[in-house]
């Protein structure tokens, strides 16, 4: 991979291998794999995604990935809204899933519709 500098963010990812579920319907295939992509970036965000064009000139700030995989940032979005306000009244908690289930069963006695 070639970068524009150690602290410089790219403005283009050339020849990126993106997961099929990130690509629009009708994306070209190479055998049973999606064709590599050229990803244009602006202010750290994706501006456009197009099938890789080997004949096109890359921007000076491009990173040439040569088919390396690129994945979206992983985010832990798992939350239990029903348990959001329980911690202050629970006191010390035991570790583990079974202890958490027991704690919620006991706390459920204090729940009201409000």
Tens-digit pLDDT profile for residues 25-79: 999 999 999 999 999 999 888 999 999 999 999 999 999 999 999 988 887 777 7
pTM of the full predicted structure? 0.60
**b/e 72-95 (16+ beta carbons within 10 angstroms → b):** eeeeeeeeeeeeeeeeeeeeeeee
- 10: helix, strand or coil: coil
Residue 82 pLDDT class (50, 70, 90 cuts): low
Mean pLDDT of 4-8: 57
pLDDT at 20 over 70: yes
**Run of H or E including 103:** helix 97-107
């Amino acid at each position: 991979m070639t970068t524009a500098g150690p602290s410089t963010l790219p403005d283009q990812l050339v020849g990126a291998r993106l997961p099929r579920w990130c690509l629009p319907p009708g994306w070209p295939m190479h055998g049973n794999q999606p064709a590599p992509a050229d990803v244009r970036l602006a202010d750290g965000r994706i501006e456009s995604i197009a099938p890789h064009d080997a004949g096109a000139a890359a921007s000076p700030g491009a990173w040439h990935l040569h088919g390396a995989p690129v994945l979206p940032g992983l985010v832990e979005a798992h939350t239990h809204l029903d348990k959001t306000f329980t911690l202050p009244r629970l006191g010390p908690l035991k570790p583990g899933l079974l202890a958490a289930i027991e704690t919620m069963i006991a706390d459920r006695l204090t729940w009201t519709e409000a």
